[in-house]
Structure 1
C-alpha cells in the first residue's frame, strides 16, 4: 500500500510543476537521479548485474522500456493537459488491464464476471475521458492527456504481467538497478535528441531539486521494490488490486495541494471502474471461499 501512496504523490507533484519542467526533463532527471542513488549497488554487483543483462538482454530491455522509459514518460505527458484527479482515476483501471493482458499472454482464464467487470471498467474510463459527455465521440474533442494516461496504464500493466519472465538471477534491488541503468541510457538519448543540454539541466535540477529528491526516493526506489515484492509474493493480478487506492490518496492530495475538485463525471467514472474491479477480483474471491 505504501507504493500506491508514493505513486499518488508522484501524479500530484508532476501536475503541480507541469508549467516549470517538461515531461522529458522530469522523467530523465528522475531516473538519472535514481541511477546515481543506486550506483554503489551497481558498482558492487556490477559483474552479476551486467552478466544478467547480457544473458537476458531482450526481456531486460523490454522491462526498462515499459516500466522506466515508457510508463513514466506517458504519465508526465498526460499530466501536461489533464488533472491529477482524472489521471489517477483512469490509472485505477490498471487491475483490469492486468487481468486482460494476463489472459492473452499467460493464458489465464477470464470468467464471465471478469468479462463484465472489464466492460464496466472500460466504460468508466471512457466516461472519464469524455467527461460524461458522449456527444464528444462524434466530434473527437476529448483531452489528449487522458489518452496518454491510458497508454501509460497499458504499459505498466504489460510490465507487471511480464514480471512472470523476470530473470531469477537477480534479487529485487539488483533487478531494479539493471532496468534503471538500461532505461536511463534510453532516456539520455531522448533527452539529448530533444535538444536539451547540460546548462539547461543544471537550471532544472537547481530549481526543482525537492521534486527530484522525492521522486528518486519514494516513487522510484521504494515503490518499485515494494511492487516487485508484492508481485513475487501474491502475483501480478492481486498486487494490481491495490492500485485502485490511488484515486483515494491522490484526490485528497490534489484537493490539498492543487485545489482540484471532484466533478459528477469523476464520481460516475469512479463507480463504474470500482464496480468493475469488484466483479473482476473481489466477487470472484468471495465465491471461491463460499464453495470451499
Structure 2
C-alpha cells in the first residue's frame, strides 16, 4: 500500500464517485417504481450474472473462496447487502441534499474506524484534508449561500445514511486485510464475485423481508430496465473494481477523500439534467475537495 498517489491510482479512485453520483440520481428517479431493498437485490443479482461469465471458476474447491468464506460473507454484507440498500432507503425518506451531507462525513468515519478497530494512526494532514474536503462538500450543499445550510434539518431517514457510511468504512478497511490466496486477490472479477455471491444472499433475504413487511410492489417498465442495467454495470461492477484496487494502492483513509467527489459530481449531473449551467461555487468546491485529497496524501 502506497501513501502517495500516482495518476493511475487517482483515476481509479475518481471514477467510482462519478458512477456513484449517477447511482444516487437513478435511485431517486426510480424510487416510485421499485422498493429500495428490492432495487439493491435486483442490482446485485444482475451484477452476479455478469461476473459469473467472467470468473465462474472462483467457485471451484481450490479457489480459496470456501476456505475464507467468512471473510467474503462479511464483505458481502457490508459492501453489498447493507451499503446501497441503506442508501436507497435514505433516498426514500430523506431529501437528496441531506443524504449527501451525511455521506460527506466519510473521511471522518474512515479515520475513526481505522483508529478504533484496525490500529491505524490519525495524522495531522489527514485531519486538515478532512476539513478541506468536507468544506468543499458544504459549499456544494449550500449552493454558495450560508442560509441554505442553516435551513437543513436531519430527519429519521438520515440515520440510514449514517449507518451506510459506517458500513462502507468498515468494508474499505477490511479490503486491505488480505487473508485469501494471492491468486484469488489478483483476479479482480473472481475476488468481486466472491463478495457478490454472499452479498446477493444477504440482499435477497433483506428483500424478502421488505416485501413481507410492506405492501411495496415493483412497477416494471423500460425505464426501470435501463436503470437496473446502469446500476449493475457502472456503480456495481466497474466502480467496485476500481475502488477495490484504488483502496489497495492508496489505503482507506486517503480513498475516503475521493468519495467526497460524489456530491460534487451529483450536483453537476443534476444541473445537466435540469438544464442548468454549473456555477462558480462548483469550481470552489472542486478546489477544496481536491486540496483535501492532496494534503491528506502527502507523506
* Shared fold per TM-score greater than 0.5: yes
- 5+ long unaligned stretches in structure 1: none
Pair 1:147 & 2:159 matched: yes
Say yes or no: does 1:54 pair with 2:70.
no
Give the structure 1 partner of residue 86 of structure 2: 74
CA separation of 1:152 and 1:82: change in aligned 2, threshold 3 A: same
1:123 and 1:248 map into 2 onto residues whose CA distance is 12
> Cα RMSD (Å) of the superposition?
3.7
Shift of 1:25: 1.6
Corresponding residue of 1:108? 120
TM-score, length basis structure 2: 0.75
CA shift digits 1:199-220 (9 cap, x unpaired): x988537661001000111000
Q: Aligned partners of 1:207, 1:74: CA distance in 2, in Å?
A: 22
Match of 1:20 among 33, 43, 54: 33
Does residue 36 (structure 1) correspond to residue 49 (structure 2)? The answer is yes
1:213 maps to 2:225: no
Cα distance in 1, alignment partners of residues 84 and 125 from structure 2: 31
The residue that corresponds to 2:100 in the other structure is 88
The partner residue of 2:111 within 80, 99, 113 is 99
Q: Cα deviation per residue 1:7-40 (whole Å; 9 max; x = unaligned)?
A: 1100111011212211022111001111111222
Deviation at 1:112, TM superposition (A): 4.9
Separation in 2, partners of 1:218, 1:187: 19
- How many residue pairs end up in the alignment? 272
Give the SS at the match of 2:121: coil
Range with greater deviation from structure 2 (82-91 or 96-105): 82-91
After superposition, the Cα gap between the structure-2 partners of 1:44 and 1:205, relative to the gap in structure 1 and judged at 3 Å, is farther
Equivalences for residues 101-140 of structure 1 within 5 A: 101-112=113-124, 114=126, 132-133=149-150
Asked if the contact 1:95/1:237 (under 8 Å) is kept, the reply is: yes
Who is 1:160 aligned against? 172
C-alpha deviation, 1:188, in angstroms: 1.7
